[in-house]
Amino acid sequence: MLIKLVRQGLGSIIVFIDWLTRPKMIQRSAEQQARADAKAKSLKLYQLYACPFCVKTRRTIRRLNITIETLDVSEGSPYRTQLEQGGGKFQVPCLLIEKPGETTWMYESAEIIDYLNKEFSEDALRAG
């Protein structure tokens, strides 16, 4: 109970600091932004609002100026079950990457951030 309260308190502080220090969004040409928006549609982020690793991942998403659907996996949420069954374990953040004929459940914030930075770089977007 106490641990849960401390966790929630720390989580709220992290979210507040994140809000105060929001990263600047990169700007693209309209054409490149349309490519980025289309590409981001194949992604979903399973997450918890106040989880520090999720905050870190959402900061990258904001900086990259993309919209990725976020699915909250709080207790009782159907997305929690989806994550456990699809990805094989309960851990957030987890990025679901859906490509024709291929589904990937990517865990580990560092790996997700690295993937997003590469996929949404100007060069990758130009290459299509």
**Is residue 32 close enough to count as binding ligand GSH by CB under 6 A?**
no
Separation CA 99–CA 10 (nearest Å): 36
Tell me the site size for ligand GSH, rule CB under 6 A: 9
The least distance separating ligand GSH from the CB of residue 124, rounded to whole angstroms, comes to: 23
**Is residue 18 close enough to count as binding ligand GSH by CB under 6 A?**
no
**Is residue 91 close enough to count as binding ligand GSH by CB under 6 A?**
yes
Interacting residues with ligand GSH between 43 and 62 (CB under 6 A)? 51, 53
Which residue lies nearest ligand GSH, judged by its C-beta?
Answer: 51
3-state secondary structure the chain: CHHHHHHHHHHHHHHHHHHHCCCCCCCCCHHHHHHHHHHHCCEEEEECCCCHHHHHHHHHHHHCCCCCEEEECCCCCHHHHHHHHHHCCCCCCEEEEEECCEEEEEECHHHHHHHHHHHCCHHHHHHC
The least distance separating ligand GSH from the CB of residue 89, rounded to whole angstroms, comes to: 8
Q: Which member of 109, 113, 116, 125 binds ligand GSH (CB under 6 A)?
A: 109
> Under the rule (CB under 6 A), what is the footprint of ligand GSH?
51, 53, 90-93, 108-110
